[in-house]
A and B are shown apart, each in its own frame.
Chain A
Amino acid sequence: MDAPDALPLESDGDRSTSWIQRPTGACAVIGEWLARARPDRGIRVLGRSGEWDFRSWSEIAAEAWDTAELLRLSGARTGGTVSLVIDAPDVFAAAFAGTLAAGMVPAPHPPRSSFPDAAAHRARLAGLLRVARPAAVLTHGRSAGPVREAVREAGSTARVLSLDDGRPTGTEPRSPARPAPDATALLQFTSGSSTAPKGVRITWENLTANVAAIRSWLRWDEQDAFAHWLPLHHDMGLIGGLLTPLAAGTDLRVMTPRQFIRAPERWLECFGRHGATLTTAPPFGYAYAARRVRPEALDGMDFSRWRVAILGAERIDPAAVARFHRLVAPYGFTARALTGAYGLAESTLVVSGVPAGGKTRTVRLADTPLTFGAPVTVAGEGVLGEDAATGTGWLAGCGPPLPGTRVTVVDEHGTPLPPGTFGEIRISGTSLFAGYVPQPPRDGREPGGFRTGDSGFLLDGEVYVLGRLGHAMKVRGARVHAEDVEARILATAGGPAPRFAVTFGTTPESAVAAVCAEGEVTPEWADTAARCAHEATAGTARVLVVRAEPGALPRTTSGKPRRRRLWEELADGAGVWRPLREEPPRASSGSADAPSAPGGPARAEPEAADEDEVPGDPARPAGEVGLPSARQLYDRWEVQQWSVARVEVARDAPVFAALRPYTRGELLVALAELEIGESCVTRTLSALADHAPTEADRIYLCTQLADEARHVQFFQRYLQDAAAVAPEALEPDGELGGASGYGRIYAPVLRAATGAVRESGGEAAAWYRAVVHYHLMTEGLLAAPGLRTLRELAGACGLTALGEGLTHVARDEARHLTFGVSAVRAGVRGGHADTVAETYLHAIGDTVRVLVNPGRRATGPKLTAALVRHAAQLSGRWEASRRRMTRQLAAIGLGHLEPRAERAWRSALEAALDAYAENWPEPHPVVRAGALRGLRSHQRTS
């Protein structure tokens, strides 16, 4: 190892000169900090027992020296990269500082706890190691196993150094090696991308400049204490949540994202009970806390010292922040603490921020298309947190650029635009990164600065950010790339795929993810593409699937899609693209009804689990291609809790009362069907739980039982408090209960199937039969499409409480369906294929009968044009269920039954329509419309 020749530590004669003000003396940075580490300040980590475990900064400094010695003894070369794969925040802090002290470059990677699945963790690590090419890997605890395997898989020669195996102790502080200001201090991997990891090289100058800028921006002082729950291997957690507190010797509390998701009140308690004054989190964290934490949990807390709550990493939803403010304001929280900020790894961390103690301004953009080079029109203004920000188009200001950083808004040619003009954000200054690893030919750095790919504008000196244009967008702090969505669509869609490209954009209302295909597109492909885009963006973006003639996709000379150009064509609206599918965002990035935060894909259709690791979304399942396990579904359940009381159904009452008769009738029947179905389930499901094949299955089914109880509560309350329906109407002989197809047709089937499970004493065949009826038929073919139709109707009518509740219900049902498909598939593989096949084919008849419901007279308009449209809608719903059936059969491994199932479906449909004609004076509207169409085409030909 090179002889240490840096400044002697003890010769720090001028303590008032912070190291961060002397970037050229960066060599001394880490040494000075370690020398100054205080025994009375330190890091508190939330332990398993729920206690805060304290380690002083001086203990961590001693451990850092030991780690540096360990690296030196290992023979790793000075200046080499050291990968860090460490779960415990205090151990990570010491390892990070020790790596710097050894004159090496730390490259933090996600630890084991970021992945529910060891195989997915190993695969991700191997990809990172191939790019980082470390000389050594520092790890500990349960990360050590996957690390060793990943090193082998990557073909890396790195030494794996487990901190559990002991390290030198009592190492004397040495003078750290002297790196030049432009030497790499840190290799920061950008998050989210599963395809190609990319390291951002941060120099010593960058690091010192950004940390100094953060401290002056927040007016960080001796009295401050910091608390957060961010992962330390990402820029926000690392630079903001570890290195800056470490440099300032500030008391720090750290919990893991998973701990935050489980108990967000523990984060709030840092400020309300333990005196923390500073924090940072993506906006979704505030929205999540607002949704999960009950006011009673804050009793006795005092937030009056909490002076900075940074919101960064993704677009801020002012309405969600207002809900957070409503929760905490009664306990002394001031809206001045809410601090909008903008940053990215390429700028070390922070680019701009609202000055500490100032209010963050919100603006509402007029509902006009945003085009590059055109001025934005501000239609309203407010203050973040204080104003409810109802309606769409609200944006929060991200403050002026930090000292040393310059922000310019440019057009597509890089020409600077005047303030108030929409364009791309370009940054320059001392925090700007030195390049990527691996370095692409073009990395966005130009003579004028770095083209961020983020769109936005400057207003009164403040930065406003709308989001990524073209190739990437941020979802819960993680960057999702267009290529990732394309890869997912290719992996998921079967059959011939059209040529297509994905692009991202943004409108005042929401982010948009668009799948643009050329040539022939099948409806199945369009469905799959929409679903993949929806899931890849965790439901936060409006999803569009569009098509055009072959050759329409704009491409570069090398054949790559020109995504921003593509977006402009779409935004323009005058282009060649025809919409095939359009789905609204399931939720804005953090609104109170954000159903997909934080539990991962809201619609867990059978499909590949997501391998992306997404900070702030720790419970997202990861793993091999396949279905999540019962255990993973249980974990999902834990984080996807919701409360019926919080939906506040009564707010829909005035809207409901004003509905026109047909719409009102349809809603009531659909709600009653769901209530009756859910009630029936709560009475019978326990037999399935009692006799589940595995312990994990049993535990999962118990969660389902709890969910169904919650659904019954929701539907009953909604019917009573919003729709003003008396409970008696739902009885079997009541006005609504009597018309329920499910109650009369399928409920007896379900009761018989679960009865058989009990009577047989848990015979496996009986259990699988019941799961087919329960999960595949009732939930998959009847409830799921019914919920979808109802949600659309609720949206169209402005029934917001219903939409909110149904979103929760639909997410729960998707989980149950995934469980069912997974369980039945296991049964098919485990020797019960015949039982499942026979039950499935037999059950089709009853399922179709419930859909047609011959016992209820359907609304049939007499005016032909209305009748034809209405019939097309009804048959469209039946078709949606039939297509689901096909997908289900493939997913459970019985795809070969499809022709038989199709025949069974058709004959059941005919039988049900015949039964309808016998019950009522005229044929079913679908038959009448069909007869009419036949008649007309006959007339035309004759």
Chain B
Amino acid sequence: MSLYEKTVDRVQDVIRDMAPNRKETVSRDERLIEELGYDSISFLELALALESEFNLFEFDEEQAENLLTVGDVSDVIGKLVVAAAAE
């Protein structure tokens, strides 16, 4: 399992654990707000938790697109983690 895949899996777990709507599993296509119940506070908590877990210090303007689904978030974090490891 690659670092990217491992990261994506772990991010999905964190998103599931912190989701206001409790779920057994989450899938890539699930929407953060509509399906998982994230609001502005819980989304911020999620971002901070992910940053601290993956030790992200830099943010990348290129990733500044809207994060709507579980897949959007896990892809962004996955790329950032891979990029940080390469440095």
Contacts and interface: CB of A to CB of B under 8 A. Distances in A.
Interface of A: 660-663, 793, 796, 859, 861-870, 873, 932, 935-936
A863 B39 contact: no
Nearest to A873: B40
B66 interface: yes
B74 to A, nearest CB: 12
Interface string B23-65: 0000000000000000111111111111100001111110111
B61 A861 contact: no
Give 10 closest A-B pairs by Cβ, nearest first.
A866-B47, A862-B59, A861-B47, A864-B64, A865-B67, A863-B47, A660-B45, A662-B45, A862-B51, A662-B48
B50 A863 contact: yes
A864 B44 CA distance: 11
A280 B11 CA distance: 60
B76 interface: yes
A793 B59 CA distance: 27
A935 B18 CA distance: 31
Given A660-B45, A663-B45, A932-B64, A862 B40 contact: no
A450 B61 CA distance: 67
B67 A862 contact: no
A663 B41 contact: yes
A861 B40 contact: no
Nearest to B42: A660
B25 to A, nearest CB: 22
Given A662-B48, A862-B51, A863-B50, 14 more contacts: A660-B42, A861-B47, A863-B47, A863-B56, A864-B59, A865-B47, A866-B43, A866-B44, A866-B46, A866-B48, A867-B59, A869-B40, A870-B44, A873-B40
B62 to A, nearest CB: 9
28 contacts: A660-B42, A661-B45, A661-B48, A662-B41, A662-B44, A662-B45, A662-B48, A663-B41, A663-B45, A796-B39, A859-B48, A861-B47, A861-B48, A862-B47, A862-B56, A862-B57, A863-B51, A863-B56, A863-B59, A863-B63, A863-B67, A865-B67, A866-B43, A869-B40, A869-B43, A869-B44, A932-B64, A936-B64
Contacts of B63: 863-864
Contacts of A867: 47, 59
A861 B66 contact: no
A611 B76 CA distance: 58
Contacts of B56: 862-863
Contacts of B18: 660
B61 to A, nearest CB: 6
Contacts of B47: 861-863, 865-867
Scoring B44, B63, B66 by chain A CB atoms within 10 A of each residue's CB, the highest score goes to: B44
B53 to A, nearest CB: 12
B23 to A, nearest CB: 18
Nearest to B72: A865
Contacts of B58: 862
Contacts of A932: 61, 64
A935 B65 CA distance: 13
Contacts of B59: 862-864, 867
Contacts of A662: 41, 44-45, 48
A660 B76 CA distance: 23
Nearest to A796: B41
Contacts of A796: 39, 41
Contacts of A868: 64
A791 B27 CA distance: 34
A793 B50 contact: no
A865 B51 CA distance: 13
B44 A861 contact: yes
A582 B47 CA distance: 27
Given A796-B39, A869-B40, A873-B40, A864 B45 contact: no
B48 A936 contact: no
Contacts of B39: 796
A645 to B, nearest CB: 30
B40 A865 contact: no
A869 B39 CA distance: 10
Scoring B46, B59, B63 by chain A CB atoms within 10 A of each residue's CB, the highest score goes to: B59
A865 B48 contact: no
Contacts of A793: 41
Contacts of A864: 59-61, 63-64
Contacts of B45: 660-663
Contacts of B57: 862
A859 B49 CA distance: 12
A866 B67 CA distance: 9
Given A863-B76, A865-B66, A936 B44 contact: no
A927 to B, nearest CB: 14
Contacts of B42: 660
Nearest to A659: B45
Contacts of B60: 864
B45 to A, nearest CB: 4
Nearest to A862: B59
A688 B66 CA distance: 52
A931 to B, nearest CB: 9
A866 B61 CA distance: 13
A859 B45 CA distance: 11
A154 B18 CA distance: 66
A328 to B, nearest CB: 40
Contacts of A936: 61, 64
A936 B61 CA distance: 8
Scoring B18, B57, B58, B63 by chain A CB atoms within 10 A of each residue's CB, the highest score goes to: B63
Contacts of B51: 861-863
Nearest to A864: B64
Nearest to B39: A796
A623 B46 CA distance: 52
A158 to B, nearest CB: 61
B41 to A, nearest CB: 6
Contacts of A661: 45, 48
Given A861-B48, A861-B51, A863-B67, A935 B41 contact: no
Nearest to B50: A863
A868 B63 CA distance: 12
Nearest to B32: A865
B73 to A, nearest CB: 8
Contacts of B44: 662, 859, 861, 866, 869-870
A148 to B, nearest CB: 60
B33 to A, nearest CB: 11
